[in-house]
Structure 1
């Protein structure tokens, strides 16, 4: 595996890449899904389904239920459009949709920001250990809690 280059998307480019990736998997890019992705991508820190539901409800002038948002976020995670920060029950947009990386996050206990890092050798090592213990369908999720540079 090792390190590789990939294009980080932002703004309109990110939404286009997310739509293309979702449609390639046979799913539709609906107005609701687009609104939820745009809201998620607008957060600089991990966002909860409630944060997103509130933002989309306000923007649309009609209530969007958090349960609907959860279902769409799960679809996004399954299709590599979003990543879930397990310990915070919150989500981040994947800035390179379609690139399947394991979730390795540095999570700040002060400001709540989560930085996603790609370290394929580390992920591979975790997978190898898990396989040696008899695990299958391995999806490492590694979260390192601490204080970020801005907060320390």
Structure 2
């Protein structure tokens, strides 16, 4: 297994097209509402709560969208690997390579809230193996590191 898992990170229309294709491969439909939620999530630039997404979609649609509806869609996106949940922030971020299944390690800026993910299959694989050795099955590593991003570090100097 390689230590690092590299991808060409998708953005814009390419990301939306890949997300739609991955959702349909998973046997789900890409509805207008799901598309609006995904667009809001993908353009956010940092982890967003269901309430942030509901507000953005409400503005786009010109009518109130309930956060409960958005939560259901975000849960679907997480199950189908279109989005990742940032556990410590109770927020979500679009997966820049939908359809690829692996465990991400999030680096979260304490100052601006930006989240960057890195892939290290060797590290997450070691965590899974340690959990198996402790008698756990179906383990999903959730690794989040908090600190300051390079932009905020440069601004603090």
How large is the Cα RMSD of the aligned pairs?
A: 1.0
Number of positions where the alignment pairs a residue of Structure 1 with one of Structure 2: 152
| 3-state DSSP of counterpart to 2:19 | helix
TM-score, with normalisation over the residues of structure 1?
0.97
Q: Is it true that 1:113 corresponds to 2:110 in the alignment?
A: no
TM-score, normalised on structure 2? 0.94
Q: 8 Å contact 2:111–2:148 — kept in the other structure?
A: yes
User: Which whole-Å CA distance do the structure 1 matches of 2:6 and 2:130 have between them?
Assistant: 26
Deviation at 1:40, TM superposition (A): 0.2
For residue 8 of structure 1, report the CA deviation from its aligned partner: 1.6
Whether contact under 8 Å (2:84, 2:92) holds in the other structure is yes
Structure 1 CA distance for aligned equivalents of residues 73 and 42 of structure 2:
14
> Matched residue of 2:144: which SS?
strand
The secondary structure found in structure 1 opposite 2:65 is coil
Deviation at 1:6, TM superposition (A): 2.9
What corresponds to 2:41 in structure 1? Answer: 40
Structure 1 stretches lacking a partner, 5+ long = none
Contact 2:5–2:120 at 8 Å: present in 1 too? no
User: How big is each residue's C-alpha offset from its partner over 1:89-132, in whole Å with a ceiling of 9 and x where there is no partner?
Assistant: 01110010011121310111111111111011001010010110
Deviation at 1:5, TM superposition (A): 3.9
Q: Aligned runs of 1:2-151 on 2, under 5 Å?
A: 2=2, 3-151=4-152
CA distance in 1, matches of 2:90, 2:104: 14
Q: Which runs of 5+ in 2 are unaligned?
A: none
Which whole-Å CA distance do the structure 2 matches of 1:69 and 1:101 have between them? 24
Give me the whole-angstrom Cα distance separating, in 2, the residues matched to 1:114 and 1:58. Answer: 24
SS of 1:106's partner is: strand
